[in-house]
Chain A
Amino acid sequence: MDQNISLKLLAIGYDPAIMQVVERLLNSHAGWEGIAALTREEGLEKAGSGHYDAILLCVGVSAADEEAIRQAVSHHSSSTKVIRHYGGGSGLLENELRAALDHQ
């Protein structure tokens, strides 16, 4: 993945303090535009209506929520990658995105 590629990203997670860090880290990358959704409902609404290169499932998102979000995305955008983000704005964040988007 080109380090300077332009990416539109949605991060869904339910801990506002952690998600503030995740959102800040995403937007600290040149060309990356990240927004956060802090509830299941907001996540489903944004995932099912906006266009994103990738959607990160973060803190608090259960397996059932993940399935619902994947369903919403699959009906809306087949090119959007939905990936789990582990670690809460950790050193894995960029790696997880690069691994997912490199395999498109």
Chain B
Amino acid sequence: MAQYIFHKADTRGHDYHDWLDSKKTFSFGDYYNPRRMGFGALRVLNDDILPGGKGFGRHPHDNMEIISIPLKGSLKHEDSAGNKAIAAAGALQVMHAGSGLFHSEYNNSQDEVAEFLQIWVYPETLNTPPRYTLGDLPADAGKDRLHTFIAPDKADGIYVRRDVWFSTGRFSYDASFTYPLHLEQNGVYAFVIAGRFSVDGKELEARDGLGVWDAAAVEVKALSDEAHILIMEVPMNIHA
């Protein structure tokens, strides 16, 4: 029988600094809740706002798959592997930290805020070579359809070193879809970016999250127009 965990948007951790306004679904930084240590291999889901010109200065990472989804404005990325990129809303940035690198992420604008989702997934294998990929988020490629933008199949160039599938879509009121899980040992974490949805009959508003596991499929229905959802299918085991 399907199991569920619901995380209401206003129960997330909230760190506010003059350089960062961050809402954290799972424990991170100063926010610690032992009941919110992730969802399977999904460890971090931060909803970050950077004021103009502000950002994360040069700092290291290793052994994490770090996915950034800009929702508004743009991010300026630089890393010790020599990558420099601008990731604007509609783009997708994946950084395999692997055996280690340093990077910085700044709001590329001095005037406008930048909003982005910062998502971390435990890798399948430790200490692999770092890799950086910039791609497009296909949410606007066709309305009322779910678009998978990260999958283990490496053919399209955007992947995470784990058996995960990330999908997104914008939906009109009453549009619906069934999401069949790819692997029995996986679960789904549904995160509403905008609007309202019903996920397996449970109502979710903007920035609410619902984890589902021990399920073969998940039923999703938009309860508002311009409803935007992120579906993250991840292994329920932290480690491969």
Contacts A59-B100, A62-B126 given; does A95 touch B32 at CB 8 Å:
yes
Residues A90 and B61 in contact, CB atoms below 8 Å apart: yes
Q: Which of B27, B34, B61, B126 contacts A63 (CB 8 A)?
A: B126
Residues A86 and B32 in contact, CB atoms below 8 Å apart: no
Docked CA distance A90–B46 (Å): 13
Q: How far is the CB of A79 from chain B (nearest CB, A)?
A: 20
Residues A59 and B127 in contact, CB atoms below 8 Å apart: yes
1/0 contact string of B63-77 vs chain A (CB within 8 Å): 110000000000000
Question: Residue B99 at the A interface, CB < 8 A?
Answer: yes
Q: Which of B30, B37, B99 contacts A99 (CB 8 A)?
A: B37
- Residues on B lying within 8 angstroms of A by beta carbon are 27-30, 32, 34, 37, 43-44, 59-64, 97, 99-100, 102, 120, 122, 126-127
Q: Which of A17, A87, A91, A95 contacts B37 (CB 8 A)?
A: A95
Question: Residue A88 at the B interface, CB < 8 A?
Answer: yes
1/0 contact string of A92-103 vs chain B (CB within 8 Å): 101100110010
Docked CA distance A99–B37 (Å): 9
CB-defined A-B contacts under 8 Å, sample of 19: A17-B100, A18-B100, A58-B62, A59-B62, A59-B127, A61-B126, A61-B127, A86-B64, A86-B122, A87-B61, A87-B64, A88-B60, A88-B62, A90-B61, A92-B43, A94-B29, A94-B30, A95-B28, A98-B32
